[in-house]
Structure 1
Amino acid sequence: MNGVRKQHSRRQMQTVMGQTAFRATLHVVVRVPAARGMDGAAEPPASFGADVCVLSASHISSGVGVYKGESSTGSLHRFRGQQPEMRTGAYLLLVLCAAACTRAADRPLERAEDRDDDVDMDTPELLEKYGYPCEEHIVETEDGYILRMLRIPYGKASPLVPGQRKPAVLVQHGLMNSADDWVIMGPNASLAYILADKGYDVWLGNIRGNWYSQRHRTLSPEEDKYWHFSWHEHGIYDMPAQIDYVLNATGHKQIYYIGHSMGTTMFYVGMSMKPEYNEKIRAMFSLAPIAYMNHMISPLFQLLAQFTTSAQVLLHLIGASKFTPSQELIRLIQPKICNDKAITEPICTNVVFMICGFDKEQVVEEKLAAISAHIPAGSSTRQFIHYAQGIDKGHFRQYDHGLVENIKRYKQPTPPDYKLINVKAPVYLFYSLNDWLAGPKDIDRLYTQLGNAKRKFKIAYEKFNHLDFTYGKDAYDLVYKHVLDLMHKYEQGDL
């Protein structure tokens, strides 16, 4: 099949964002894998010399996405869509950029052949590199957000057969992440490739606010109003729009859903608020599920939970609308995970690891630079505050806007709880004991309240962490294999 090759990379798409508006609800770009050499490279790797670190005042004042600051070690510091009125975020950019250059000056230059070129590639580029097809689909939500979904219609080990309709699965990333999560570890390790090779039609979701989905019918990401959403909006707008799009595109009546972290939270929200969507899900697989958060031990969320009633403190720590952690916050969290000399720099300097924790025994060292280059992918401040409210109050409920606004919105002083009994789709929970965000006691509580919880699986490795569900070297054996076995039983009619 011949298609139009997308010329914009993730970085370029971020730069032009807001200058070109997608009005159509259907926009498909098909990427066909190009011919490659034995090593899978499209062209000889570039040589790297002196480090580059450029950040001008015009970048900050214009609000254009900036990602410069790449050291010779391949550690890419990405800064996207900073808002001109957010001084804390602007200063943070300058400090981090200067720090990147200072650290790089003290390190020996890395040989070009040792550098992982996946650092610079987005999901379509990675799929093309490894010989997998990719379609890009534009989906508009009910409230005007423009989402970019990525589809792998077939795998290398499961080619497309004329007239065949492969079972469809929607795979949804978590907080601060994107579709990149499901491909960054490469074939035979990342879930997207594995599902495609097992015969599934794979759809990778991208929620509002990450760098694939920063468009809106009328708003710009440079406006505070654009970022006025939490995972509540992901659940009632983003998820239903993506489910309906996949069903319409494939002709199926039901699809599978696999979510990680916040990708599970938004599912519980959506199914409780829009119970008619339960009938559209054949089975749902929750990886590191998050609903109740009383036993969440992440240092960042524990800290934020102390200030949920003090808006000014919170906004100073994490940003006014888009998540932009301050230097003070990073200094508070960093010592909690960087006191082990064996921990590598990408973990100590990446805010996602600071929030979610790590398991050094599951870390694939050669992929750390690529992982760190793709996270964080963009989040709103309200996503974090909403989780922190759950820790503080012990409820799984809608966003707390304060007494006056709550009465206006909910007709009561406190937000209503989500009715988990309405989640009637079959749900399977996969959890671990070393998860900083999804505590086992919270999983037990969730399991008893879901309307159709089928089974919960404790990962058979005690140190398995929240991010190991996507990046862990044993993720296939400990998690994915069991998910695939369940999906196969559904396909065979055994479940």
Structure 2
Amino acid sequence: MSLYVRGRPVDADIDAIVGQHGFAVETHTTTTEDGHILTLHRIVGVNGVRAGAPVVYCHHGLMTNSELWVLGDATERCLPFKLVAEGYDVWLGNNRGNKYSNTHARWDLEDKEYWDFSIDEFARYDIPASIGYILQLTGETVLKYVGFSQGSSQLFASLAMNRELNGKIQHFTAISPVLVPQRLTHPVVAPLMLNPHYIEYIFGPKALLPFVPTVNSWLPSGLFNKVIDVSLQVLFQWNGINIPQSQKQVGYPHLYSTSSVKSVIHWFQIIRDQQFQLFNNTQSYNTSNIDTEVLLIYGDADCLVNIEKTCESLQSCKVETVRCPSYEHMDTLWAKDVENRVFNVILDKYRDIDGGREAIKSSGSLFL
């Protein structure tokens, strides 16, 4: 089934997007130890969710949200829908600060304290809280984790901080995995590497570019898509030639969601020092604590992925790599042939783990 978008789909939320594909969404919330209220989305097929079905948790990248996973221009080009059809219980997470997780037990969005978070807080609080909630609700003891870009970084950091969490991850698929990105060379961006805190002087201490959704709604879709293409070319030298225009039309209007300026500063510190480290260089994440099995899927034209350095950092666990020739960063979700080159690779891996398609689909007996 193809997803046809008429007009400007900017205001459509995940329920509407998923509904166009014939699926539904359950909305759940959990509160972190430091008071952030996170929204989790569970994808539900026409037959509901089978009790005892193996769980897959998907987490988005920097400055996006759970919608990222369901923005394929056709149903078969969305990984969660393929997983649900295979018999999995599929959940999508959201970081603090994005459009679905923007409340706190104490702080308001106008408060500077609300936005005082970086990768450290994502890893220390958000990921364990989300995984803990899902496992408690489903009664399962382990789940499979799929992270895109920073979504993979957050689990790497979380596993490094929390050795106990390793026992709850049956398998970890890192798509376009970002651990220590290669240095950015654009003349506007490169000087910020010298002192990443300059970013706060430019953008303030709260949310980064909160006006983007408004600009998105004002501009004609073709012009907005062009702005995105040019921005990605200038910043990262991505050409986007593997992504169909139909995919950009569906995906680009939903690509951006708010995050903190501090989280971007954190990335610039990591890039400058070429170390996967905590905020303000206090210490490196101890990746030797990671012992879950990892599958790395990456494009060899992706300047943000340093696959050699990533593998060097993961010597304490079993690691498999899948290289996608000519793929850039977003291609691992949106390229025209992504179903065969990425999604089916993941499904085949899961079938190996779970004993095949029929074994997965027959797990459990009751619908929730």
TM-score (norm 2): 0.86
How many angstroms does 1:305 deviate by? 1.2
User: In the alignment, which of 261, 267, 272 is matched to residue 392 of structure 1?
Assistant: 272
Question: Is residue 447 of structure 1 aligned with residue 338 of structure 2?
Answer: no
Distance in 2, matches of 1:198 and 1:361, equals 30
Question: Is residue 150 of structure 1 aligned with residue 41 of structure 2?
Answer: yes
Distance in 2, matches of 1:357 and 1:325, equals 24
Match of 1:278 in 2: 166
Question: Is residue 183 of structure 1 aligned with residue 47 of structure 2?
Answer: no
CA contact 2:159–2:289 (8 Å) conserved in 1: yes
Distance in 1, matches of 2:102 and 2:89, equals 25
Distance in 1, matches of 2:236 and 2:85, equals 30
Gaps of 5+ in 2: 213-221, 357-368
Matches within 5 A, 1:367-446: 367-400=247-280, 414-438=281-305, 442-446=306-310
Larger C-alpha radius of gyration, 1 or 2?
A: 1
CA contact 1:298–1:437 (8 Å) conserved in 2: no
Distance in 1, matches of 2:22 and 2:194, equals 48
Distance in 2, matches of 1:269 and 1:298, equals 27
Match of 1:491 in 2: 354
Match of 1:127 in 2: 18
The percent identity for this pair of structures is 28
Match of 1:260 in 2: 148
CA contact 1:118–1:184 (8 Å) conserved in 2: no
**CA 1:453–1:303 in structure 2 vs 1: closer, same or farther (change >3 Å)?**
farther
How many angstroms does 1:160 deviate by? 4.3
Match of 1:56 in 2: none
Match of 2:363 in 1: none
Question: Is residue 314 of structure 1 aligned with residue 181 of structure 2?
Answer: no
Please list the CA deviations of residues 383-408 of structure 1 after superposition, one character each: whole Å capped at 9, or x if unmatched. 111111112112111100xxxxxxxx
How many angstroms does 1:294 deviate by? 4.0
User: In the alignment, which of 232, 243, 247 is matched to residue 135 of structure 2?
Assistant: 247
How many angstroms does 1:291 deviate by? 1.2
Distance in 1, matches of 2:8 and 2:225, equals 19
Match of 2:364 in 1: none
Distance in 2, matches of 1:320 and 1:388, equals 15
**Which letter maps to 1:362?**
N
Aligned residues: 344
**Which letter maps to 2:139?**
G
Q: Which has the higher contact order (CA 8 A, sep 6+)?
A: 2
**CA 1:182–1:352 in structure 2 vs 1: closer, same or farther (change >3 Å)?**
farther
**CA 1:298–1:275 in structure 2 vs 1: closer, same or farther (change >3 Å)?**
farther
**Which letter maps to 2:114?**
Y
Match of 1:470 in 2: 333
Distance in 1, matches of 2:187 and 2:60, equals 22
Distance in 2, matches of 1:39 and 1:486, equals 26
How many angstroms does 1:374 deviate by? 1.1
CA contact 1:239–1:266 (8 Å) conserved in 2: yes
CA contact 2:40–2:94 (8 Å) conserved in 1: yes
Match of 1:68 in 2: none
Moved over 6 A (4+): 38-41
**CA 1:469–1:346 in structure 2 vs 1: closer, same or farther (change >3 Å)?**
farther
Please list the CA deviations of residues 319-345 of structure 1 after superposition, one character each: whole Å capped at 9, or x if unmatched. 332112999xxxxxxxxxxxxxxxx74
How many angstroms does 1:124 deviate by? 1.3
Gaps of 5+ in 1: 1-37, 42-113, 328-343, 401-413
SS of the residue 1:257 aligns to: strand
CA contact 1:120–1:373 (8 Å) conserved in 2: no
TM-score (norm 1): 0.65
How many angstroms does 1:296 deviate by? 5.2
Distance in 2, matches of 1:325 and 1:137, equals 25
How many angstroms does 1:247 deviate by? 0.3
